[in-house]
Amino acid sequence: MPRGLVMVRKLKIRISRCCLAILLVSSLLTQTCGATMSRPNILLIMADDLGYGDLGCFGNSTLRTPNIDGLAKEGVKLTQHIAAAAICTPSRAAFLTGRYPIRSGMASRIETRVIIRTGASGGLPANETTFAKLLQQQGYTTGLIGKWHQGMNCESRNDHCHHPLNHGFDYFYGTPFTLVNECQPNKDPEMSVKLRATYWFYTQMGAVLVFTLVLGRTTGLFCVEWKVTAFVTSCGVLFFISWFANYGFLRYWNCIVLRDHIITEQPIKLENAASRIVKESISFIERNKQEPFLLFVSFLHVHTPCFTTEMFHGKSRHGLYGDNVEEMDWMVGKILAAVDKEGLRNNTFTYFTSDHGGFLEAREGIDQLGGWNGIYKGGKGMGGWEGGIRVPGIVRWPGMIPTNTVIDEPTSLMDIFPTVAYLAGASVPQDRVIDGRNQIALLQGEVKHSEHEFMFHYCGLYLHAVRWYHKESGALWKAHYVTPKFHPEGAGACYGKRMCPCSGESVTHHNPPLLFDLSHDPSEINPLSPGSEPLFNTLVNQFKRAVDEHRKTLTPVPEQLDVYNTIWKPWLQPCCGTFPFCWCDRESDMKA
């Protein structure tokens, strides 16, 4: 290489390093650098439980999602956009940190796999770095509006150790938890009805026992120590409180809304939730239009119970679920309109996705209450099948990335972390493994291929499957080591259960792994065999080597979602009022 060229190269590298500082100079010298580093606003929109096949722009011809379709038309559509987990808490932890949930302790070995109440101690550890924290350090104003589901407290009711404001967000409005059926009065409880009945049975038995003991003692019929009676009574009371905490009072204790650190609604008023989220998002954009901002809008839609307001109720062709999707699209439209109104469209990197695939088991009788995953097998809760992890991905940045473009390369929700860090001029933490990749060059069409070669598909703490993208040949393989046993067989879901389990009796282990050629068989119907695929053994060995390499990068961390960290701890229960009398409605009080 001629000396001059080497010099120019070095200069270019140096320029890109101090790009931010000498923005003006560098934009004159190099085309690629200056403009990309103009620190755009970042608007990230995430739907909850939305399936791959639920949007018009992803092939749905019967649901109306004009606003999201418009976004895709004005930007890039990612058709192989992969969530790091097929269930909320771990998938969102990975999204926020750019790391597989197993690295932060957000992958669980127990079946619940998510945070199941606000009065628990598990959550995103304080030493994890979210993209919000990186951008905050770069002078961005950062906001989260909507669902968090990454924990609340560690040791006391108001320590808020896992709270969004402790993870790099300057502003938070929304629920620290998630929507569950209990949030809507008169809905069937989501938590297992059987368990509820068992609880009730034991509570009654306890009451009868205590009554008998006291009666025996006072009438002198038989003699029991007062100590024993007192002990049994206190056990009964504790048991009853925990029943209350889990079922009776769930709506009051878990369905809550916070503004920053203050509880404003306990319980949440679902009828106002959609419009509040829109209003809060718009007002955040208006407040911060002068400076770069990061806004993460994390919808409660389209999670069960699919509460939908009058305006959209009964309007879609797909029941309550379809209504809910169409309402969510309307919300997206309102927020994008605010971006336009403030003249921020060209200077905003806008992203839309879902935390994981549609929830196939969510039904009310025969009515669909969960998403549709298109041609892909499986859904929410399943670690490896495509339907649980492949989600819609859309990016718009007018003038900076092409319009009306489809990218079929493998990308991950974890890529957002290094990508937005790069756009804000931040460097990612060097003291830990980051699994996401900066995809700006791919989005801009400067490179043809994604850097992702292997991706690991976990179900809780258990590795279920691995995908391998061989970019030279374009081949896309997937190996399943563990798959859930469908119920009924071949149903593609675990009907009758809450969702498919990750381990134990309810899964099948495969050795050699079930191997699919995803590029020709995206629905994972025809597993390859050594007879049908000459490369079979080579592929299996290659997968094994990748898994071994990946495992070497894992280090043990405290588990955030084990039994101890998910049980209810009364002293951690967020409470508006004097515990246990927790309720308030500060939004209405303020208006009054």
CB-wise, 61 or 218, nearer to ligand NAG? 61
What are 557's two structure tokens? Answer: 């961390």
Least separation, in Å, of the C-beta of 554 and ligand NAG?
A: 11
Task: State the CB neighbour count (10 A cutoff) for residue 9.
Answer: 11
Which region among 54-62, 279-287, 471-479, 539-547 touches ligand NAG (by CB under 6 A)?
54-62
Residue whose beta carbon is closest to ligand NAG = 399
Q: Should residue 553 be labelled a site residue for ligand NAG when binding is judged by CB under 6 A?
A: no
CB-wise, 371 or 378, nearer to ligand NAG? 371
List 557, 562, 570, 587, residue binding ligand NAG (CB under 6 A): 557
Nearest Cα to Cα of residue 77 among 442, 473, 474, 417:
442
Q: Should residue 558 be labelled a site residue for ligand NAG when binding is judged by CB under 6 A?
A: yes
Which region among 2-10, 142-150, 171-179, 364-372 touches ligand NAG (by CB under 6 A)?
364-372
Least separation, in Å, of the C-beta of 329 and ligand NAG?
A: 12
Task: State the CB neighbour count (10 A cutoff) for residue 234.
Answer: 11
What length does the chain have?
A: 592
Determine the Cα–Cα distance for residues 89 and 109; give it in Å rounded to an integer. 14
Q: Should residue 399 be labelled a site residue for ligand NAG when binding is judged by CB under 6 A?
A: yes
Q: Should residue 54 be labelled a site residue for ligand NAG when binding is judged by CB under 6 A?
A: yes
Cis previous bond, 488, omega within 30: yes
Specify which residues 175 forms β-bridges with.
147
Q: Catalytic: 223?
A: no
Site for ligand NAG in 440-499 (CB under 6 A): none
Beta strands in 280-389 (DSSP E): 293-298, 348-354, 363-364, 367-368
Calculate the dihedral angle through the C-alpha atoms of 154, 159, 162, 166, rounding to the nearest 10 degrees.
Answer: -150
Site for ligand NAG in 176-205 (CB under 6 A): none
Helix, strand, or coil here: 351? strand
CB-wise, 231 or 564, nearer to ligand NAG? 564
Helix, strand, or coil here: 259? strand
List 1, 2, 61, 218, residue binding ligand NAG (CB under 6 A): 61
Q: How many residues bind ligand NAG (CB under 6 A)?
A: 22
Task: State how far the alpha carbon of 471 is from the alpha carbons of 408, 468, 476, 477, in Å.
Answer: 12, 9, 8, 11
CB-wise, 127 or 186, nearer to ligand NAG? 127
Q: Should residue 432 be labelled a site residue for ligand NAG when binding is judged by CB under 6 A?
A: yes
CB-wise, 54 or 409, nearer to ligand NAG? 54
Least separation, in Å, of the C-beta of 271 and ligand NAG?
A: 23
Q: Should residue 60 be labelled a site residue for ligand NAG when binding is judged by CB under 6 A?
A: yes
Site for ligand NAG in 205-234 (CB under 6 A): none
| Residue 64 region by backbone torsions, left for phi larger than 0, else alpha for psi between -120 and 50, else beta | beta
Is there a contact between 77 and 71 (Cβ–Cβ < 8 Å)?
A: no
Which region among 230-238, 291-299, 315-323, 412-420 touches ligand NAG (by CB under 6 A)?
315-323
Q: Should residue 430 be labelled a site residue for ligand NAG when binding is judged by CB under 6 A?
A: no
Nearest Cα to Cα of residue 360 among 500, 485, 514:
500
Q: Should residue 322 be labelled a site residue for ligand NAG when binding is judged by CB under 6 A?
A: yes
Q: Catalytic: 149?
A: yes
List 7, 14, 62, 447, residue binding ligand NAG (CB under 6 A): 62
Task: State how far the alpha carbon of 175 is from the alpha carbons of 163, 270, 375, 584, in Å.
Answer: 11, 11, 33, 14
Which region among 157-165, 231-239, 365-373, 535-543 touches ligand NAG (by CB under 6 A)?
365-373
Q: Should residue 392 be labelled a site residue for ligand NAG when binding is judged by CB under 6 A?
A: no
- The torsion angles phi and psi of 434, rounded to 5 degrees, stand at -110, 125
List 31, 127, 290, 473, residue binding ligand NAG (CB under 6 A): 127
Rounded to 10 deg, the angle between the 319-341 and 270-287 helix axes is 20
Is there a contact between 212 and 224 (Cβ–Cβ < 8 Å)?
A: no
Q: Should residue 318 be labelled a site residue for ligand NAG when binding is judged by CB under 6 A?
A: yes
Least separation, in Å, of the C-beta of 20 and ligand NAG?
A: 22
Task: State the CB neighbour count (10 A cutoff) for residue 109.
Answer: 14
Q: Should residue 372 be labelled a site residue for ligand NAG when binding is judged by CB under 6 A?
A: yes
Residue of 19, 88, 255, 500 with catalytic role: 88
Beta-carbon contacts of 91 under 8 Å, excluding residues fewer than 6 positions away, are 83, 84, 85, 101, 355, 356, 413
Calculate the dihedral angle through the C-alpha atoms of 164, 167, 170, 174, rounding to the nearest 10 degrees.
Answer: -10
Q: Should residue 529 be labelled a site residue for ligand NAG when binding is judged by CB under 6 A?
A: no
Q: Should residue 508 be labelled a site residue for ligand NAG when binding is judged by CB under 6 A?
A: no
Which region among 24-32, 125-133, 447-455, 531-539 touches ligand NAG (by CB under 6 A)?
125-133
Determine the Cα–Cα distance for residues 270 and 305; give it in Å rounded to an integer. 10
Least separation, in Å, of the C-beta of 261 and ligand NAG?
A: 24
Beta strands in 115-157 (DSSP E): 141-147
Number of H helices, E strands in the chain: 17, 20
CB-wise, 315 or 509, nearer to ligand NAG? 315
Query: Which residues does the annotation mark as catalytic?
Result: 88, 149
> What does the binding site for ligand NAG look like in residue numbers (CB under 6 A)?
53-54, 59-63, 125, 127-128, 318, 321-322, 346, 368, 371-372, 398-399, 432, 557-558
